[in-house]
Amino acid sequence: MNKNQVHGIAKDIVGKVQEEAGKIIGSDSQQAKGLHKQVSGKLEEKLGDAKAVVKDAKDAVKDAAPGH
């Protein structure tokens, strides 16, 4: 797991907590901020997933290279 995946998951969790807190206190603003953090977190996690795929492909090519 890379840092983008970890940060993304953390942002998503914080966003969920913030959204729920906004619901409890009746704050549409806090709910919206929480949803924004969740979306941002999911995007960062997906960026981390893409980076992991590229790294794995790069490693596979390197391992398959002649003389390795």
Q: Quick one: what percent of the chain has pLDDT higher than 90?
A: 93
Q: Quick one: what percent of the chain has pLDDT higher than 70?
A: 99
Residue range 52-56: average pLDDT?
96
The whole-angstrom distance between residue 49's C-alpha and the CA centroid of its chain comes to: 8
Q: What's the confidence (pLDDT) of residue 66?
A: 83
**In this structure, what is the dihedral angle of CA atoms 30, 31, 35, 38, given to the nearest 10 degrees?**
70
List the domain boundaries for the chain.
3-64
The whole-angstrom distance between residue 12's C-alpha and the CA centroid of its chain comes to: 7
Q: What's the confidence (pLDDT) of residue 68?
A: 64
Residue range 10-35: average pLDDT?
98
